[in-house]
């Protein structure tokens, strides 16, 4: 059933696209929080000196 | 609505939509199973336009009220919107091949105007990133979004005003769609709209984290 492959391709494309974007956002969130925590630590150390 | 509750709602609606698409709705007699791509393509196209309308609205409010929160809304909606517009073009193309015999038709105004929308989304990002200062970039991008809003009524009216391969609007027409198909496509649109809101809120929260990082870097200097 050839048309079934087109249906599968469309659903795969959509869900792959949505999950890829979600992973991209999650990765950015993790990196941002790491940078924020690192700078907060530096500022805390500077303040305590 | 709290983020987890919205995420849960999005998940439930998606599962419901998938049930409707694959189990509930009957197979269309002329196109067969490939017609079920319609229940993905319509929501993708809807979100592509909705996200741009939100981008343009945020841009207008940013230019008039000069508040960063509106720029955050516009920028975030643009990023989410470009994802859905890409998916609209991809699913449309996949649907077109078995139904029309071609992957793309330049003579169909709905397709070309949606492609133009995709380029307008990219132009928004170019305008933001090419400016030397952040506030200038936000301003230029806002202007691009407002001008680009003109493409939305063209996309909506494309199948009514001009001839092409894309069928005219059927969803709300009397006798246009089987009631089960109409219900399924509307549920799919609602499910993907909630997903859009989830992604938009996630992206806005990242913008807020980026702003916090910028403030902390200034304090560190």
What does pTM read for this prediction? 0.92
Q: Determine contact: A31 vs chain B, CB below 8 A.
A: no
Q: Name the A residues in 11-30 with CB < 8 Å from any B CB.
A: 11, 13-14, 17-18, 21-22, 25, 28-29
Q: For residue B27, tell me if it sits in a domain.
A: no
Question: Is B33 in contact with A11 (Cβ distance < 8 A)?
Answer: no
Q: How many CB pairs under 8 A join A and B?
A: 78
Tens of pLDDT, residue by residue over B125-168, are: 999 999 888 889 999 999 999 999 999 999 988 877 776 666 66
Say whether pLDDT at B108 is over 90: no
Residue B90 and residue B159: Cα distance in Å, rounded? 19
Query: A interface mutation test: which of B36, B77, B81, B93 has the most A CBs within 10 A?
Result: B36
Tens of pLDDT, residue by residue over A3-24, are: 789 999 999 999 999 999 999 9
Q: For residue B157, tell me if it sits in a domain.
A: yes
What pLDDT is recorded for position B167?
67
Structural domain count, chain A: 1
Q: Which long-range contacts (CB under 8 A, 24 or more apart) does B21-27 make?
A: B21/B184, B21/B188, B24/B180, B24/B184, B25/B178, B25/B180, B25/B181, B25/B184, B26/B178, B26/B180, B26/B181
Mean pLDDT in residue range B173-181 = 77
Chain A contacts of B80, Cβ < 8 Å?
A: 21
What pLDDT is recorded for position B165?
64
Question: Is A2 in contact with B98 (Cβ distance < 8 A)?
Answer: yes
Q: For residue A12, tell me if it sits in a domain.
A: no
The residue behind tokens 């790491």 is A34
Q: For residue B154, tell me if it sits in a domain.
A: yes
Question: Is B213 in contact with A39 (Cβ distance < 8 A)?
Answer: yes
Q: Determine contact: A38 vs chain B, CB below 8 A.
A: no
Say whether pLDDT at B27 is over 60: yes
Structural domain count, chain B: 1
Contact B37, A6 (CB under 8 A): yes
Q: Determine contact: A4 vs chain B, CB below 8 A.
A: yes
Q: For residue A42, tell me if it sits in a domain.
A: yes
Query: A interface mutation test: which of B82, B91, B218 has the most A CBs within 10 A?
Result: B91
Residue A45 and residue A40: Cα distance in Å, rounded? 9
In this prediction, residue B202 has a pLDDT band, given cuts at 50, 70 and 90, of: very high
What pLDDT is recorded for position B169?
66
Mean pLDDT in residue range B48-76 = 96
Mean pLDDT in residue range A13-39 = 95
In this prediction, residue B36 has a pLDDT band, given cuts at 50, 70 and 90, of: very high
Domain, as residue range, for B149: 3-22+35-220
Q: For residue A6, tell me if it sits in a domain.
A: no
Q: For residue A9, tell me if it sits in a domain.
A: no
Domain, as residue range, for A49: 21-49
Q: For residue A29, tell me if it sits in a domain.
A: yes
Q: For residue A47, tell me if it sits in a domain.
A: yes
């Amino acid at each position: 059933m050839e048309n079934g492959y087109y249906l599968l391709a469309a659903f795969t494309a959509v869900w792959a696209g949505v999950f890829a974007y979600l992973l991209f956002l999650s990765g950015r969130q993790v990196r941002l929080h790491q940078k924020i925590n690192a700078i907060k630590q530096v500022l805390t150390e500077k303040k305590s000196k | 609505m709290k983020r987890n509750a919205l995420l849960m709602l999005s998940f439930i609606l998606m599962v419901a939509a998938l049930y409707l698409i694959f189990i509930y709705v009957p197979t269309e007699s002329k196109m067969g199973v490939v017609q079920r791509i319609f229940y993905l393509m319509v929501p993708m196209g809807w979100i592509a336009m909705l996200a741009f309308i939100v981008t343009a609205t945020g841009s207008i409010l940013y230019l008039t009220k000069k508040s960063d929160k509106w720029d955050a809304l516009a920028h975030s909606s643009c990023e989410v919107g470009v994802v859905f517009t890409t998916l609209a073009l991809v699913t449309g193309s996949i649907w077109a091949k078995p139904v029309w015999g071609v992957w793309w038709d330049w003579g169909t105004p709905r397709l070309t105007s949606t492609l133009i929308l995709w380029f307008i989304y990219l132009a928004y990002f170019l305008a933001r990133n090419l400016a030397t200062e952040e506030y200038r970039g936000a301003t230029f991008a806002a202007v691009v979004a407002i001008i680009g809003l003109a493409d939305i009524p063209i996309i909506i009216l494309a199948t009514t005003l001009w001839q092409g391969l894309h069928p005219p609007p059927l969803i709300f027409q009397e006798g246009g769609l089987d009631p089960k198909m109409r219900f399924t496509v509307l549920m799919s649109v609602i499910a993907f709209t909630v997903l859009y809101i989830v992604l938009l809120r996630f992206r806005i929260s990242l913008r807020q984290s980026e702003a916090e990082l910028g403030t902390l870097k200034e304090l560190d200097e």
